[in-house]
Chain A
C-alpha cells in the first residue's frame, strides 16, 4: 500500500472561518473511490479530527455529502480570531493537517 493522503485523492482541500468563532473545512474528492475512503468513519471521524487539530471530539461536526463527493468538517475556533496567538486570521491554511492524513483503511 502506498502512503497516499486525503489530499492526493482530492481536487481541492480548503479551510476558512465560518464566522469569528468557528472554522470549517472541506475535502472535494475526485471520484467515488476517493469519496468512499474520505467518507469512511474509519479514516475521518470526530476523534481523528480532534487529535489533528487539538480540539474536543464532542465539538466536531462532520457532514458527508455523496452527491458532491464532499466531506465537510466544522469545529469551534481553538484560538480567538485576531487574538495575540492567532496566526491565521481567515483560518485559510488550516486544511493542511487534514490533507496530509493517510487515506488508508486499517487492516
Chain B
C-alpha cells in the first residue's frame, strides 16, 4: 500500500497579531499555495495585567492594520483565517474587541466572510465544581488549588486545544476568533481537520507559532509550513530570509521548559527523534516528530487576581559621594521612610510594602549580579504597594522629601537629587498576579468553550 498523499500549507504571518509584517510576505504565502492563515494574538509573557484586567497589550489600530491585510488575503484566496488568544489574555472581552475590529474591516472592505467566536472564559462556579469533583490538578511548581483562590481571580480562562477551533471550521466558519488557546492549537486545527498526522502537525505548529522566529532573520515576517503524511517543510515568506536546520531546531528551545516534549490538551508532542535536513539554502525538512495521545484530555487554566494598588516615584543620583555610599543611603532611606509612614499615616509594615530599586547599580539582578564596576549615575525607583491607590500614593508622597533630599549618614548637608519629572508620583492602578497553574480533566474537549457563528452579511 502506498503512503497517503496530499499536503496542507499553513501560513503564519507573524508571532503576534499587531506586531506587523510586510504585506508582500502574505502575498508570497498565497502564491506558494497557503491553505490556511493562522496567527496568535495573545500571551502571558508580558505579565498578569492583561488577563487580570481583560485588556489588550497591542493597540487596536495595529491589530486592525494586520487584520485588514489578513482578511483581504483570506477572502481573495478563499482560505480560512484562525486567530488565537484574542486580546492578549484571551478573555471574553478580548474576543469581543477583536470581533468588533473584524466586523469593521469586513464592512469597510465589503468582504463576505462568516465569523465564529469561541469564548474561553471560565466561571468560578464551574472551576470550583470541577475542583470538588477532584478534576483539577496542579502543575509544577504550583500546589493544590483551593476555592478561595478561584474566587479571588478577576478572570479565569481555559486554554483550548485544536478541538473547538476544528469544530468551528467544520461548521463552515471562514474566520475563527478564539479566546485563550495554546499557541500551537491555532496552527494545528486546520491540518488536523484535513487528516494530516498529529506528530508533524503539532511540531510544525510549534515551529510556526512565533512567525519568523525560526528563521535567520526574525524581523522580516512570517513562515509557511507544508505538512504532509511523513513530515513537514518550512520556509520563510521573505525571500531574503532563510530557515536552516539549526534555526528551526533551535526554535524548540524558545520559551519552553523542556525542548523535546510539550504537553497539549490532547497529548504530548515528542521531538526526541526529529531529524532536521536542509532541502536547499532556505528550506528545511523535518521528519520523525511524534505525538502521544494522553489517556486523559486536560485543559490548562490561567487566572489572575488583584494584589493591591501601586504608586511609583523616580529620582536619580549623580553625586559621587552618595553613589560610593549607596548601600548606606538605601538603609537610611528604608529606616526613615518606615518611621515617617508610621508617624504620619499610622501604618505599620503589614499594611503596605515598597521596593526600592537602584537602576544602574543592581536593580535588575540584585544580589545575583556578577558585576562590580562602579556606576556613573543611579536611577532610584520607589514602588509602593497598598490595598488602595490612595494609601499607596500617600506613602509615596511621604517618601517624596527623601527622594529629593536624603543624604548619606555622614553628610553634613542636604543634597538635592534629580527627579525625572513632576509631579514625582505616578499612580499605576491595580496590580495583578497569576493565581492559577492547574489543569482540568475534561469530559469532552469542547465542553469548556462556547462558540457563536455569524453568517456573512448579505451582499447587494
Contact = CB atoms under 8 A, between A and B. Distances in A.
Interface of A: 16-22, 24, 26, 28, 52-54, 59, 61, 63, 65, 67-68, 70, 72, 74, 76, 80-85, 87-90, 93-94, 96-97, 100
Interface in B419-445: 431-434, 437
Nearest to A23: B257
Interface stretch (B78-86, B163-171, B248-256): B248-256
Interface string B326-353: 0000000000000000000000000001
B411 interface: no
B459 to A, nearest CB: 44
Given A20-B434, A89-B47, A52 B368 contact: yes
Contacts, number: 103
A72 B365 contact: no
B344 to A, nearest CB: 22
Interface in B355-407: 355, 357, 363-371, 383, 385
B197 interface: no
Contact of B257 (A74, A81, A87, A89): A74
Interface residues of B, number: 44
B259 interface: yes
Contact of B258 (A16, A61, A100): A61
Contacts of A94: 365, 368
Report the 3 A-B pairs with minimum CB-CB distance, sorted nearest first: A82-B47, A100-B370, A76-B141
B46 interface: yes
Contacts of B365: 87-88, 93-94, 96-97
Contacts of B354: 84
Contact of A84 (B48, B366, B368, B383): B383
B142 interface: yes
A26 B253 CA distance: 8
Contact of A21 (B353, B369, B371, B437): B437
A67 B257 contact: no
Nearest to A52: B368
Contact of A96 (B250, B257, B370, B437): B370
B45 interface: yes
Contacts of B47: 81-82, 89
B294 interface: no
Given A74-B258, A82-B49, A97 B353 contact: no
A74 to B, nearest CB: 4
A82 B432 contact: yes
